[in-house]
């Protein structure tokens, strides 16, 4: 049985155990209190996959969105999507969280913050963000170098190693796999 992840732990987890694609979405939500559809789908399904319950997910999105909009608007326009991700609305399918391939090949437009940062971010912005996170310069250099060569998932694996202070060189093919590998190391 999978552990339930309380939303009160997400800020810590986003730093320690999220791949960069999800950390970026989490930070965007915390600062903008809003997120466009593509991001809500990518992050919402990831949260479901790591073990956040539907009730907690609703509370999580509601608490952020209602910082800048009425509760009524949230309930009418956004709560449906959260329940939809959990298969409680519409066709009631059990939607699975997106794989790296799907995220990397997704279309990302202006103002969007979903996608894979190794694929969709401008390398200089990515570099500054990694330095801001406190990664050492050699690690940042290696990650950016591989990113520029177009090996996005290998860059992600290096990000994993730098975040956890290990040298595993894991093959990363799913954000939820990244999360689980991280949790194994931390626990």
Residues that bind ligand SF4 (CB under 6 A): 19-21, 100, 103-104, 116-118, 152-153, 156, 172, 175, 178
CB closer to ligand SF4 out of 9 and 105: 105
CB of 156 to ligand SF4, least distance (A): 3
CB closer to ligand SF4 out of 91 and 107: 107
CB of 157 to ligand SF4, least distance (A): 8
CB of 178 to ligand SF4, least distance (A): 5
CB closer to ligand SF4 out of 32 and 104: 104
CB of 95 to ligand SF4, least distance (A): 17
CB closer to ligand SF4 out of 38 and 175: 175
CB closer to ligand SF4 out of 68 and 168: 168
CB of 57 to ligand SF4, least distance (A): 20
Determine contact, residues 138/123, Cβ cutoff 8 Å.
no
Residue 27 token pair: 């930070």
CB-neighbour burial class of residue 2 (10 A; exposed 0-12, middle 13-18, buried 19+) = exposed
Q: How far is CA 73 from the centre of its chain?
A: 25
């Amino acid at each position: 049985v999978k552990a339930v992840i309380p939303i009160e732990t997400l800020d810590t987890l986003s730093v320690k155990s999220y791949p960069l694609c999800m950390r970026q979405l989490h930070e965007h939500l915390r600062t903008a209190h809003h997120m466009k559809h593509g991001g809500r789908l990518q992050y919402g399904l990831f949260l479901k996959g790591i073990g956040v319950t539907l009730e907690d997910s609703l509370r999580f999105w509601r608490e952020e969105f209602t910082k800048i909009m009425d509760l009524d608007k949230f309930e009418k326009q956004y709560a449906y999507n959260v329940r939809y991700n959990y298969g409680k609305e519409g066709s009631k399918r059990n939607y699975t969280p997106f794989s790296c391939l799907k995220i990397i090949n997704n279309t990302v437009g202006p103002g969007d913050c979903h996608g894979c940062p190794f694929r969709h971010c401008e390398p200089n912005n990515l570099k500054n963000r990694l330095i801001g996170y406190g990664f050492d310069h050699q690690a940042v250099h290696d990650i950016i170098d591989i990113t520029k060569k177009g090996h996005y998932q290998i860059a992600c694996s290096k990000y994993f190693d730098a975040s956890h202070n290990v040298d595993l060189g894991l093959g990363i093919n799913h954000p939820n796999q990244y999360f689980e590998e991280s949790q194994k190391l931390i626990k």
